[in-house]
Amino acid sequence: MLKDESPSRTELSELGEFGLIDRLTSDMKILNKSTVKSVGDDAAVIDHGGKLTLVAKDLLIEGVHFDMSYTPLKHLGYKAAAVNISDIAAMNGKATQLLVGISVSNRYSVEALDELYAGMRLACKKYNVDLVGGDTTASVSGLFISVTVVGEVEAGKQVYRNSAKENDLICVTGDLGAAYMGLLVLQREKEVYKANPAMQPELEGYDYVLERQLKPEPRTDIIELLQKAGIKPTSMIDISDGLASEVLHISKDSNLGCRIYEEKIPIDVVTADVAAEFKIDTTTAAMNGGEDYELLFTVNINDLEKVKAIKGVSVIGHMTSKEEGEYLVSSGGSMYPIMAQGFEHLK
């Protein structure tokens, strides 16, 4: 896992806005030919030729989306970039540029922001994305991070949420519920620390779920594997708010129903162990936990053998007519209406 080390402190006022921008962006190298103009002007200039440009935006607020008592700044920067890159992958595209706006209080030092941007640069380097600009401003309290990601996809290859068809197979990448379990571990250790600051957090054995919460990875690899297999998903979305919420998005937008089979939902053994420790049903964690940033997609039933051959993809159900509704089928055959119970903004 990444380390957050800040041996010295420089006040933001010592650099000023433009000095800070120069410091945070001085070593950013161009990785894509499509980046014509990067940092240093009123707007980034991007030429995608005959391809479609994809743009997505995400906002992360201290106290709402992250808790600085247990979130290393380098991890936070990485996650802020990664979750936006995931949005482009969910469109069957490739992220190419990133713009970042931050609003920050004087509680944070220059070195703290160095760490934040180091995480962003690490994610951008890994996924071959250029950080081309953004904005900085003062905040009366806390840290606000606004990320805009730009990507590209060949015309006709873009995938939406509203284009699933009846009898399409429902597929998911990786495993689910781990990020939520990681969050519960961090929240528990925070409460222990508040009760007794002399206590050290007990995090040994929780590496997997902590990594999934603090440092998610967008599934750009699956986009490449689907293309190599000759599969174009009929619909797709990334899992930020839980499997239940995302499959309901596809169902509603496509005007269809669905069936998800409990025994088919992929859950890692570590996730199951931590869920048992917290006395939480693993299916509940997978359906409603959120922040896994895996891909949920549908494919034509004729692509069954192709998609089964892709490592890391599980077929967990199928789309039905709208009249048949949206249901989770338990291991015993009972049917339960799917309800989105994950995190909802503004509630």
Alpha-carbon distance values, 80 to 91, 128, 179, 225 (Å): 18, 15, 15, 25
Strands (E), 221-268: 235-238, 257-261
Query: Phi, psi (5° rounding) for residue 341?
Result: -120, 10
User: Domain 169-337 - what CATH class?
Assistant: alpha beta
Question: What is the pLDDT, as a whole number, of residue 342?
Answer: 60
Q: CA-CA distance, 325 to 335, in Å (whole number)?
A: 11
pLDDT in tens, 117-132: 999 999 999 999 999 9
Residue pLDDT, tens place only, 180-229: 999 999 999 998 878 888 777 788 899 999 999 999 999 999 999 999 99
Check if 12-153 and 169-337 are the same fold: no
pTM: 0.89
The pLDDT of residue 7: 67
| Cα–Cα distance for residue pair 115/126, rounded to 1 Å | 17
Summary mean pLDDT of the chain: 92
* Regions of the chain where pLDDT drops below 70: 1-7, 41-43, 342-347
Q: What gap in Å lies between CA 224 and CA 222, rounded to an integer?
A: 5
CATH of domain 12-153: 3.30.1330.10
Domain boundaries, the chain: 12-153, 169-337
The amino acid at 155: A
